Amino acid sequence: MEEMSLLVVEEVSKSFGGNRALDGVSFTLGEGEILGIVGPNGSGKTTLLNILSGIVRQDSGTVLFMGRPIDGLRPHLRAKMGIGRTFQITRIFSNLTVLENVMIPLHYGGPGSDRDRAEEILSMVGLIEMKDRRAGGLSLAQRKRLELARALALQPKVLLLDEVFAGLNPVSIREILDLLKTLHSETGVAIILVEHVLKALFQITRRVIVLSEGRIIYEGPPEGMAESREVVKAYLGERYEGP
């Protein structure tokens, strides 16, 4: 029997007014797989994550999660089912403490010892020392860790990460990269990374999708990207020297 895909995206399209953000996008994600999604600004990457997490509803096409269509489901139900995400612009609550930020999604996830679990997650992402600080006082790298912690609270089967490395210095990129690798090997969580920092991305994934104007123009290993004329033209540019 063929192994069931965790996520199946079938012919998904979405327009905003006359602007086609996604145009017949199809792909699958296996259990525990790490997939990179790249492409120029405005190519539909965030829109795709918004559709997967239920923030935006597609015009046509279907998304299956663990074999079930999830198209009508609200974001919080998808989160409970195991679809966790972080945002390109972090969405933590600045006036709450670091610990409280992680306890909120836990609370919505059902009963249990929220505080112990939140502290456990903060230890995982390296923020336990900061737990009583106001989240608004965190550095960008720490805010990104806190967003990861919030996404991890509901024990996701897949993590959707929108530009986790953007704006970080090389040391912080390295640290978040190591954190993601550890999370992946310890929990088996599948990850979709939307990313512009290719050097970091290629250290964690063997498979990438390139979007251009809402369409998939390449799918395969990072090494193959530069061999596609269309990818070079639409995204990499002629000066690209390979992963």
Ligand X SMILES: Nc1ncnc2c1ncn2[C@@H]1O[C@H](COP(=O)(O)OP(=O)(O)OP(=O)(O)O)[C@@H](O)[C@H]1O
Which position's Cβ is nearest Mg ion?
A: 46
63 three-class SS: strand
Question: Coil, helix or strand for 96?
Answer: coil
When asked if residue 58 is in the footprint of ligand X (CB under 6 A), the reply is: no
# residues near ligand X by CB under 6 A? 12
Which of 6, 12, 35, 46 touches ligand X by CB under 6 A? 46
Residue window 80-119: x/- pattern of binding to ligand X, with contact defined by CB under 6 A: --------x-------------------------------
Cα separation, 36 vs 210, in Å, equals: 8
What is the three-class DSSP state of 1? coil
Q: How far is CA 81 from the centre of its chain?
A: 16
CA-to-CA distance for 175 and 198, rounded, in angstroms? 16
Query: Closer CB to ligand X, residue 106 or residue 235?
Result: 235
Q: List the strands of the sheet with 190-194, edge to edge.
A: 83-85, 158-162, 190-194, 34-38, 207-212, 215-220
Among 41, 38, 47, 45, which residue's Cα sits nearest to residue 202?
38
Please identify, among the stretches 35-43, 61-69, 78-86, 170-178, the one whose residues bind ligand X according to the rule CB under 6 A.
35-43
Contact track, Mg ion, 40-59, x by CB under 5 A: -----xx-------------
Bridge partner residues of 10 (DSSP): 62
Please check whether residue 148 is in contact with residue 125, taking contact to mean a CB–CB distance below 8 angstroms: yes
Which region, judged by CB under 6 A, interacts with ligand X, from 34-42, 108-116, 145-153, 235-243? 34-42
The entry of ligand X, Mg ion, none near residue 43 (CB within 5 to 8 angstroms by kind) is ligand X
Q: Decide whether 45 or 145 has the Cβ nearer to ligand X.
A: 45
Q: Which residues bind ligand X (CB under 6 A)?
A: 16, 19, 21, 39, 41-47, 88
Interface residue list for Mg ion (CB under 5 A):
45-46
